[in-house]
Structure 1
Amino acid sequence: MISGLIEACRAAIAAHADHLCELDSAIGDGDHGTNMRRGCEAVSADGHALADLPLPDALERIGMLLVMNIGGAAGPLYGTLLIELGRQLRTGGDAAAFAPVLERAIDAVARRGRAKAGDKTLLDVLYPVHAALAGRSALTEIAERAEHSAHDTAPMRAMRGRAAYLGDRSIGHVDPGASSCALLTTAICRYLGEYRPA
């Protein structure tokens, strides 16, 4: 399953990398798509080794690869999310009751980025996704929530990252980190919905 999830995420980012760069050009450095694609390709290149690891170890390893290969703020934020997921699962978190595990990982991302919901970051997708998961929403509904939440960042004023320097000029643009987070969430939900163990 890990290999399939990695490929689903890699393909989703590769297909939308140019669009992510366009979003980032409006309020950032213009390289978010390029950076995300590089990170996903690094994870994919390590896919066979990752597939042999227990899930907590695989998640931590993926997190480290993202930190090392994604530039800007996205690497540490995505890396923190995956590393913390792995740690929480290893220290007694129950994969069958994933919502509390995800909540603690998202809180770690918020601390790392010194951000909160409404600051126009990937947290504005992660928190709604967690709420949908905690409410036992279907995978299709979780994906839809992620996509809508990313679009909902457009009227927000950026409070963190390079976009924050633009002040009110950041209003009217979808946050690229929120968009990549929605893409990954949708890819994961779609894969899990179609996954059938051999």
Structure 2
Amino acid sequence: MTRLSSDDFRALVTAMASAVADNAERLTELDRAIGDGDHGANMQRGFDAVAADLDTLAAKPLPEALKAAGMKLVMTVGGASGPLVGTFFMTLGKELPEEFDRAGFTEAFSKAVAAVAARGKSHQGQKTLLDVLFPMQAALEDGKSVGEIATIAGQAAEATIPILATRGRASFLGERSIGHMDPGAASVALLASVAASMLEQQP
């Protein structure tokens, strides 16, 4: 893991936008159970907006491209997820050097997760996307492969099903939030899977 080219970034964004579009209805169904029922549509709108600006973004150095993509997500996703997902990408871009090793990426990722937690005033165990981000951070710090990290992300999303929501829209449901996967956690796991598939092909 050293440097992603503009073509790599273009391929990653295209794959993420496609995956979000393909899974938008599933994400919306998850959100209908414990939220406002618009998470899939919101995420699709945001990633479609990033993809539509891909020529401009891909011309930037990777850190700047990530920051710009994050800002676009903040402005277009809407709901609670927009600021959180956007903050992750903005902070990752801010903290990531143009050329980086595993340690540099791990440090930047950790700071991005901390920024999401601060923005959402949340922590692990409250049935939010942080229930996936924190296990991913731990897996990175433990030296897991990108494939293993994606698997851990998927398992962490599944593990939100029995959790009682204490933050976000789902917290208003109390005990009724139990038995449903958090849609934000599902989105993060989906994006992790897409990123892992691409990064596994890197030399």
TM category (shorter chain) comes to over 0.9
Normalised to the residue count of structure 2, the TM-score between the two structures is: 0.92
Per-residue displacement from partner, 1:68-97 (whole Å, max 9, x unpaired)?
11010100001111111111125xx97312
Match of 1:50 in 2: 57
Which ranges in structure 1 are unaligned for 5 or more consecutive residues? none
Note closer, same or farther for the CA distance 1:45–1:154 as it changes in structure 2 (3 Å cut).
Answer: same
Q: % of aligned pairs identical?
A: 49
Match of 1:192 in 2: 199
Task: Say what the alpha-carbon RMSD is for the aligned residues.
Answer: 1.3
Match of 1:95 in 2: 100
Per-residue displacement from partner, 1:110-150 (whole Å, max 9, x unpaired)?
01000000010000000111111111111111110000000
Normalised to the residue count of structure 1, the TM-score between the two structures is: 0.95
Question: What does 1:32-181 align with in structure 2 at a 5 Å threshold?
Answer: 32-89=39-96, 95-96=100-101, 97=103, 98-181=105-188
Distance 2:17 2:179 in 1: 28
| Correspondence for 2:16 among 2, 9, 15 | 9
**Structure 1 stretches of at least 4 aligned residues deviating more than 2 Å after TM superposition:** none
Distance 1:95 1:156 in 2: 36
Distance 1:4 1:95 in 2: 19
Per-residue displacement from partner, 1:29-63 (whole Å, max 9, x unpaired)?
11100000000000000111111101111011001
SS in 2 for 1:72: coil
Which ranges in structure 2 are unaligned for 5 or more consecutive residues? 1-7
Distance 2:47 2:202 in 1: 20
CA contact (8 A) 1:94 1:101 kept: no
- Total equivalences in the alignment: 194
